Amino acid sequence: MRSFADIPIAKKLISIMLATTITALLLASLMQATTEGMAYRQDIVENLSTMADIIGTNSVAAITFEDRALAKRVLQSLEAEPSIIVAQIFDTNGQSLAFYSSASVSLTEGELEEQRALLREWVSGGEPVRSFNGLQSIDILQPIHFDREIIGYVHVQATLQPLVQTLVRFAWMAGITVALAVLVAWFLSFRLQALVSRPILGLADLMRRVTDDEDYSLRAQKAGDDEVGSLIDGFNNMLQQISERDQRLTEGRQKLDEQARSLTQANEKLKLAIAELIAAKDTAEKANTAKSEFLARMSHEIRTPMNGVLGMTELILVSELDPKQRHFAETIRDSADSLLDIINDILDFSKIEAGKLELERAEFDLRDVVESVVELLSIRAQSKGLEMLCDIAPRMDTLVRGDQTRLRQILTNLIGNAIKFTEHGEVVIRVREAVAEGDATKFRFEVIDTGIGIKPASQELIFELFSQEDGSTTRRYGGTGLGLAICKQLAELMGGTIGVDSVPNKGTTFWFTVNFAQDTRAWHETTLSDLEDPGSLRVLIVDDNSTNREILLHQLGAWGIHADSAADGPGALTQLTTSARSGTPYDLAILDWHMPNMDGLELANRIQSDTQLASTKMIMLTSAAADDGGQRMADAGVLAYLNKPARPARLRQCIAQVLNIHKQGEPKRERRQHATLPMTRPVNAHILLVEDNVVNREVATSMLNAMQCKVDEVANGQEAVEIVRRQQFDLILMDCEMPIMDGYAATQAIREWEADIPEHERLPIVALTAHALPEDRRRCLTIGMDAFLSKPFSMNALHEILVRWLPMGTTVEQPRSRDADDPPGPHAQAATAIDSTAAISTKTLEIISTLDPSRGKELATQVINVYETSSVDLIQTLADALSDSDEHGVSSAAHALKSSSGNVGAERLVSMCREIELAARDNVLDGLTERLAAVQMEHRIVLDELRKWSRS
């Protein structure tokens, strides 16, 4: 059933009008009926009251004389009134004197008794009574008065049937009237509703047509100015606006179509242009690739004859030459070095420009890298009479992860420039921690010189390609103009920047910043040597260079050593004498050899000759090679010397050695606990050592024998796989890089064999490798190895591995190296001199000697002999692989030489081999020829020092 809101508007209007008409008529009829009924009732009451008064007046005598017959006759007169049902006359006591009842009405005895009781109640009230019994009857009780006294009562009961009949007739008439009115109203509303509904229906029909046909030109016809007319006007205006909007949209669509066609044409042109650009890009990339290949090929082709030139020049220089011939040979060498520098710059530039330069992420000690570069270039600075100083914040955490090769390249370029453009004064290299950002730290490097400076106008140009401060053909200093541009790009690749501050004729400061990830090891574990009770030491630094004094004071203060300084020899003597007389003599004096007026050697002689100062030990710092001055320094009482700039680690070790030289007669202090730490040993352990390097095998076997382990040795992975299938072992120490079959393939083969034999227990395999990167560790564990041991490893590290994987039994005393408190042997002074060269670490050889107490130094000498034989072969293998451009061969030979050299303490040679290995891994063989020459020279120095140590 539809609701009223859903029916058509015409029916709504008719319904509203009919409802209004009917409601009005019904209300009017109801009001009329009510009014008429009340009026009729009032008339009946008045008529009955009048009739009762008349009866009461006529019945006064009857009541007075109690004449019942008379009273009855009076009531008989009511027969003329058919509406009277019952009439009675009472005295004041309520006794009925007469009773009249209509013949048409018969009352039962019960009804009569009920009526009498009601009448007695009314009479007892003494008041007139008018009582209606619904629409059936009306009762009137009227007092009868005589001489203003009530002498009785008249009761009249009349029927209301006439009233009911009148109301019924009125209802019929009202109903007929309402019906006629409804018909008339329906007719009129049916005709009149069209005046309202027709415009609305017409508007609705027009809306449907507009919606269906989308014809917005249609308009509704207005019939008047009423609300419907306003609605029609609004609708027509809306249609007009929609029509105008459609017109604008049509025009806009036409414009869009035109623009789309234009864009299509432009897109076609763009596609053609892009295709041309892609073709040009491909051509450019091919040209760039061809250029890079050409540069690499030309670099190789140039380096091959240059290798011969440099090699033969070195051979000529070590032969007997007269001064003129030596000058010619040195000129050839210097020219060849300059040419190689130019080739390196061009090759690096081509790599950076092609976006093919990838940075390495390896762990290294930033302090070692900076100091090694400074040490390498210090010879060039000293040859010009310059002071070379290295200032690295003592407490700065320098164990980082990054590309040390590129850092060396930047430092070498900037320091080399500083030396080249400085005629007198000093070159200072300063390193500070700039800011820490999460796991990474930004370091700031400064290279400060007192050279010619750079003009302000040129400072913005020097980092551009092929730009120089003096670009004329008559310039004094040579160069390609690529070095600083390459440094700038390398610094930016490492997340930093580069800049320059300079004052002409006063000096220049080149600075750059780089980001390195922090390593997890603590600083003191890798930079501090064993030096007990530094706070009790008093040291005097004597140097005419204020910067060097400041650096040394800062360094010694960071170690907790009390240090003072003097700018010349006389001032130093004054301070030394004053302190000695006051009872607080200096324990140590660090002297600079090259000072004006009184040099360090003269000062040392003066100190030695003064009995008050005899207790002060002396260390000499020299800017020149001391090969011809060693005896002179020894005669002057100098116990050790260091080439400037002195590395902090070497300086600290040298101080510890010098201060303990003459304590043989003193009581020994209690040794530190770790020097005699008891070590548990494996129970009947049978270990397989898989190592192709004979030196490494010798050292590792000696360590295992010292821990009472049974050791079998094989030289490659294939032999290891074969022997594992025949014999039972408790653990395998597996080198990763070996010929025939490497450690990775051998481990896989052993694990596959174990999988085929379920009852065979898993054999622990420990990787031995010089690569300490996390990815190398992950590769070892992924391939099936159980642990990782970095070479060269200490006896403690090896013992920790055995404890982890093998059952331990009784303890054996751990072999130890000479403690700082032990008195040195008769050759301690010579050992100090050897340490100052940094070619080998005698501490490493002493550790090897203690591995087998029964053999002592004989074991270390045997290792040295093995190293001498194998390293010569490795040097030749490295040279052959480099000559054949065999990257893998170069990497393998450098790796093996690095590992062997580490076992005899040749740390500098280890670092040089590591650089060659990393470069070969990156397939960068360019520039390795001169590095190989440096390795060969360093190798000869190492062998000489090892032979000296063996004979000492």
Report pLDDT for 830: 33
Q: Give the integer Cα–Cα distance in Å for 924 and 400.
A: 24
72-113 pLDDT, tens digit per residue, is: 888 888 877 888 888 888 887 777 888 888 766 666 667 666
Q: Give the integer Cα–Cα distance in Å for 648 and 528.
A: 8
Q: What is the pTM of this model?
A: 0.38
CB pairs under 8 A, 24+ apart, for 68-76?
68/97, 68/98, 71/97, 71/98, 72/98, 72/99, 72/100, 74/98, 75/99, 75/100, 76/100
Is it the case that residue 822 has pLDDT exceeding 50? no
727-748 pLDDT, tens digit per residue, is: 889 899 998 888 889 899 999 9
780-818 pLDDT, tens digit per residue, is: 888 889 888 877 676 777 888 887 788 765 455 444 434
Q: Give the integer Cα–Cα distance in Å for 342 and 338.
A: 6
DSSP state of 534: G
Report pLDDT for 591: 93
Report pLDDT for 841: 74
Classify each residue of 212-243 as buried b or exposed e, where b means 16 or more C-beta atoms within 10 Å of its C-beta: eeeebeeebebeeeeebeeebeebbeebeeee
Q: Give the integer Cα–Cα distance in Å for 593 and 591.
A: 6
What backbone phi and psi angles, to 5 degrees, belong to 912?
-65, -40
Is it the case that residue 663 has pLDDT exceeding 70? no
Report pLDDT for 683: 65
Q: Give the integer Cα–Cα distance in Å for 625 and 460.
A: 39
Terminal alpha carbon distance of the chain: 124
Mean pLDDT (whole number) for 633-654: 78
Single-letter code of the amino acid located at 487: C
Q: 510 pairs with which residues across the strands?
A: 447, 500
What backbone phi and psi angles, to 5 degrees, belong to 513?
-125, 145
Q: Give the integer Cα–Cα distance in Å for 657 and 648.
A: 14
Mean pLDDT (whole number) for 328-338: 74
Is it the case that residue 173 has pLDDT exceeding 80? yes
Report pLDDT for 590: 94
Is it the case that residue 56 has pLDDT exceeding 80? yes
Report pLDDT for 353: 63
Mean pLDDT of the chain: 78
Single-letter code of the amino acid located at 665: G
Q: Are 747 and 764 in contact (CB under 8 A)?
A: no
Mean pLDDT (whole number) for 602-623: 87
In the block, tokens 């090969």 appear at 627
70-84, 277-291, 323-337, 451-465: least confidently modelled range: 323-337
Q: Give the integer Cα–Cα distance in Å for 247 and 253.
A: 10
Report pLDDT for 603: 92
Q: Give the integer Cα–Cα distance in Å for 774 and 592.
A: 44
Report pLDDT for 835: 40
Q: Please state the separation of Cα 715 from the chain's center in Å.
A: 46
Report pLDDT for 341: 65
Residues in Cβ contact with 87 at an 8 Å cutoff, skipping those fewer than 6 apart:
55, 75, 78, 99, 100, 154, 155, 156, 157
492-512 pLDDT, tens digit per residue, is: 988 899 999 999 888 999 999
125-129, 142-146, 304-308, 341-345: least confidently modelled range: 304-308
- Of the pLDDT bands very low, low, confident and very high (cuts 50, 70, 90), residue 722 is very high
Residues in Cβ contact with 124 at an 8 Å cutoff, skipping those fewer than 6 apart:
94
Q: Give the integer Cα–Cα distance in Å for 758 and 754.
A: 7
Nearest to 822 by CA among 710, 660, 640: 660
Q: Give the integer Cα–Cα distance in Å for 93 and 96.
A: 9
- Of the pLDDT bands very low, low, confident and very high (cuts 50, 70, 90), residue 629 is low
CA distances from 738 to 847, 880, 893 (A): 26, 18, 10
What is residue 938's three-state secondary structure? Answer: helix
Q: Give the integer Cα–Cα distance in Å for 414 and 446.
A: 9
- Of the pLDDT bands very low, low, confident and very high (cuts 50, 70, 90), residue 240 is confident
Is it the case that residue 439 has pLDDT exceeding 80? no
What backbone phi and psi angles, to 5 degrees, belong to 446?
-130, 135
Tokens of 519: 């390593």
Report pLDDT for 301: 56
- Pick from 307-316, 343-352, 444-453 the range whose average pLDDT is largest: 444-453
What backbone phi and psi angles, to 5 degrees, belong to 366?
-60, -35
| pLDDT > 90: percent of the chain | 11
Report pLDDT for 664: 36
Report which of residues 528 and 741 the model is more confident about: 741
Report pLDDT for 713: 92
Is it the case that residue 620 has pLDDT exceeding 80? yes
Report pLDDT for 480: 54
Mean pLDDT (whole number) for 548-564: 86
387-418 pLDDT, tens digit per residue, is: 888 888 877 888 888 888 789 889 988 998 99
Report pLDDT for 66: 81
Mean pLDDT (whole number) for 420-435: 90
292-314 pLDDT, tens digit per residue, is: 666 655 655 565 466 556 656 65
Mean pLDDT (whole number) for 18-28: 84
Q: Give the integer Cα–Cα distance in Å for 931 and 829.
A: 32
Report pLDDT for 856: 64
CA distances from 457 to 408, 508, 601, 735 (A): 29, 14, 46, 58
204-218, 302-316, 553-567: least confidently modelled range: 302-316
Mean pLDDT (whole number) for 755-782: 77
**CA-angle at 568, arms to 379 and 447, nearest 5°:** 40
Report which of residues 518 and 754 the model is more confident about: 754
- Of the pLDDT bands very low, low, confident and very high (cuts 50, 70, 90), residue 589 is very high
Mean pLDDT (whole number) for 344-356: 64
- Of the pLDDT bands very low, low, confident and very high (cuts 50, 70, 90), residue 678 is very low
Classify each residue of 151-168 as buried b or exposed e, where b means 16 or more C-beta atoms within 10 Å of its C-beta: bbbbbbbbbbeebeeebe
Query: Does residue 792 have a cis bond before it (omega within 30 degrees)?
Result: yes
Is it the case that residue 449 has pLDDT exceeding 90? yes
Q: Please state the separation of Cα 254 from the chain's center in Å.
A: 52
Report which of residues 751 and 92 the model is more confident about: 751
Q: Are 947 and 909 in contact (CB under 8 A)?
A: no
Is it the case that residue 616 has pLDDT exceeding 50? yes
Is it the case that residue 123 has pLDDT exceeding 50? yes
827-853 pLDDT, tens digit per residue, is: 333 333 334 344 777 777 777 776 666
- Of the pLDDT bands very low, low, confident and very high (cuts 50, 70, 90), residue 569 is very high
Count the neighbouring beta carbons within 10 Å of the beta carbon of residue 748. Answer: 16
611-620, 649-658, 907-916: least confidently modelled range: 649-658
Nearest to 532 by CA among 656, 653, 619: 656
Nearest to 429 by CA among 549, 548, 564: 548
Report pLDDT for 528: 38
Report pLDDT for 732: 94
Residues in Cβ contact with 66 at an 8 Å cutoff, skipping those fewer than 6 apart:
91, 97
